């Protein structure tokens, strides 16, 4: 749903604008914290045709095998299938299923390594970074508040800093007041981990402070980047790519020399044929992997302008809201990857795009360092000229 075969070329997909509206709505609702079940209910109440019904309306004879009603309705499973389908970010995956042989018609799922994957195959309905954030949310425990269609604020974001499992929400009532806290699910199940208990109030304050601090740091970084000419940033990126490529080529040369040494040992009958072939196969696999990385670096170098724009586009996500007044699910989904709670009461917030932030920080620091060195050279030159004039 959301695509149709091109009239000019039946082998190409093009966006079905009418259906794409519903696809975007599904992604948007889920990103805001609405559960898949609640989304399916909304779609049914609004009379939005399910994928099966939409195909019928478009003239297809399609009928789902498990369809029980005369009119197919939206379900939570149908919503999840759409949310997890990479076709909506422009990626086409084929060859996921096969049969045992031409006699046995039983369909089996092939290993993921055997799938035929083609990136940028067609125009995307959902941007790649947005789609990837949705996949992260799908893996989280998004328990819904009783009588509500939205999850609790921190559901799916909390992780135990020691065992890596999720934290679960609990509440107690004392003297007519409700006290909400989170604890490690493994401790609750008596699986060996400690409680990692933290009150919701302390958690909220810590995360709120961390988010505002990080957003301010990103805003400062943005100002520093805006003050740097694009050509300077480009030069640093190109130098980093060239350095990485050189190091990988050097590593390949070392591996090739190792193959030569092993080959001599085999000729001198100091190594068996099995050992020689096994060692060489491992080394050649490493060389192939490095050559692939070098090719990727070459592509990155050719598209350096696009790469820089892609690595800086995320900044707007953190700066567009200004100072954060309060936390909500949409804000956390946009900014936060996970919140890790340790037994010693430490709370660590890990943000989306944190790796890109560190990369840009290194570039800015390197440029500042170079400017400092150049400034000292100019100052020294000026001093020499003053005394020799």
Write down the pLDDT at residue 280: 87
Of 196, 283, 199, 297, nearest to 242 by C-alpha is 297
Does residue 339 belong to any structural domain of this protein? no
Q: Do 130 and 240 sit in the same domain of this protein?
A: no
In a domain, 364, yes or no: no
* Among candidate residues 346, 321, 344, 343, the one with its CA nearest the CA of residue 332: 321
In a domain, 332, yes or no: no
- Please give the pLDDT value at position 35: 82
Q: Which helix (H) or strand (E) holds 331?
A: helix 329-335
Is residue 266 assigned to a domain? yes
Which of 316, 338, 367 is the endpoint of a domain? Answer: 316
Q: Tokens 């009928």 — which residue?
A: 63
Contacts (Cβ under 8 Å, ≥6 apart) of 318: 214, 215, 218, 219, 335, 351, 353
CB 126 within 8 A of CB 145: no
- In degrees, rounded to 5, the angle at the alpha carbon of residue 194 between the alpha carbons of residues 189 and 200 is 90
**DSSP class per residue in 205-252:** HHHHHHHHHHHHHHHHHHHHHHTS-HHHHHHHHHHHHHHHHHHHHHHH
Using CA atoms, how far apart are residues 93 and 107, in angstroms rounded to an integer?
Answer: 17
In a domain, 17, yes or no: yes
**Same domain as 243, residue 129:** no
15 and 124 share one domain: yes
Q: Are 145 and 152 in contact (CB under 8 A)?
A: yes
Crossing angle of helices 304-313 and 354-388, in 10° steps, is 110
CATH code of 57's domain: 3.90.1750.20
Query: 357: which 2 tokens?
Result: 């932030």
Q: Whole-angstrom Cα distance, residue 154 to residue 234?
A: 39
Cα 144–chain centre separation:
24
Q: How many separate domains does the chain show?
A: 2
CA-based end-to-end distance of the chain: 79
The partner residues of 302 in beta bridges, in order of sequence, read: none
- Do 7 and 132 fall into the same domain? yes
H or E element at residue 361: helix 354-388
SS3 182: strand
- Interstrand relation of 167-174 and 107-109 (parallel, antiparallel or unpaired): unpaired
3-state SS track over 346-358: CEEEEECCHHHHH
284 within domain boundaries: yes
Residue 48's closest CA among 73, 16, 14, 76?
73
**Domain finish residue from 274, 290, 316:** 316
Q: Are 173 and 158 in contact (CB under 8 A)?
A: no
* Residue 168: strand pairing partners: 183
| Domain annotation covers residue 328 | no
The domain boundary, picked from 316, 333, 351, lies at: 316
- Judge if 248 and 122 occupy the same domain: no
Q: Is residue 7 domain-shared with residue 128, that is, in the same domain?
A: yes
Query: Is there a single domain that holds both residue 115 and residue 238?
Result: no
Hey, which residues does 167 pair with through a beta bridge? 184
Q: Classify residue 337: in a domain, yes or no.
A: no
Domain range enclosing 258: 230-316
Regions of the chain where pLDDT drops below 70: 60-71, 100-105, 140-150, 189-191, 306-307, 310-311, 370-389
Q: To which H or E segment does residue 3 belong?
A: strand 3-5
Q: Can you tell me whether residue 322 is helix, strand or coil? A: coil
Q: How far is CA 297 from the centre of its chain?
A: 20
pLDDT of residue 146: 60
Check whether residue 133 and residue 236 sit in a common domain: no
CA-based nearest residue to 344, from 236, 163, 142, 194 = 194
Question: Which two structure tokens, joined as six digits, stand for 188?
Answer: 């609750």
């Amino acid at each position: 749903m959301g695509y149709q075969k091109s009239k000019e070329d039946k082998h190409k997909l093009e966006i079905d604008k009418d259906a794409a509206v519903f696809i975007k709505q599904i992604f948007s609702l889920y990103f805001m914290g609405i559960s898949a079940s609640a989304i399916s209910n909304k779609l049914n109440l609004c009379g939005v045709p399910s994928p099966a019904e939409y195909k019928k309306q478009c003239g297809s004879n399609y009928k789902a095998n498990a369809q029980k009603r005369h009119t197919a309705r939206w379900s939570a499973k149908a919503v999840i299938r759409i949310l997890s389908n990479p076709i909506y970010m422009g990626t086409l995956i084929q060859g996921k299923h096969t049969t045992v042989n031409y006699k046995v018609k039983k369909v089996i799922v092939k290993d993921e390594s055997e799938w035929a994957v083609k990136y940028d195959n067609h125009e995307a309905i959902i941007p790649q970074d947005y789609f990837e954030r949705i996949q992260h949310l799908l893996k989280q425990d998004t328990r819904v508040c009783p009588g509500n269609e939205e999850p609790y604020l921190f559901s799916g974001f909390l992780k135990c800093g020691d065992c890596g499992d999720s934290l679960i929400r609990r509440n107690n009532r004392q003297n007519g007041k409700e006290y909400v806290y989170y604890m490690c699910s493994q401790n609750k199940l008596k699986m060996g981990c400690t409680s990692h208990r933290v009150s919701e109030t302390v958690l909220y304050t810590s995360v709120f402070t961390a988010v505002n601090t990080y957003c301010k740091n990103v805003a400062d970084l943005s100002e520093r980047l805006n003050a740097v000419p694009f050509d300077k940033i480009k030069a640093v990126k190109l130098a980093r790519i060239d350095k990485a490529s050189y190091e990988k080529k050097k590593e390949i040369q070392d591996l090739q020399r190792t193959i030569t040494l092993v080959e001599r040992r085999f000729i001198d009958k100091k190594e068996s044929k099995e050992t020689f072939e096994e060692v060489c196969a491992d080394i050649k696999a490493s060389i192939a992997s490095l050559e692939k990385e070098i090719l990727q670096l070459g592509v990155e170098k050719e598209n350096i302008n696009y790469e820089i724009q892609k690595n800086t586009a995320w900044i707007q996500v953190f700066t567009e809201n200004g100072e954060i007044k309060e936390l909500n699910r949409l804000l956390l989904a946009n900014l936060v990857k996970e919140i890790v709670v340790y037994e010693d009461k430490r709370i660590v917030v890990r943000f989306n795009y944190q790796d890109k932030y560190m990369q840009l920080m290194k570039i800015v620091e390197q440029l500042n360092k170079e400017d400092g060195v150049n400034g000292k050279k100019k100052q020294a030159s000026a001093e020499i000229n003053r005394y020799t004039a």
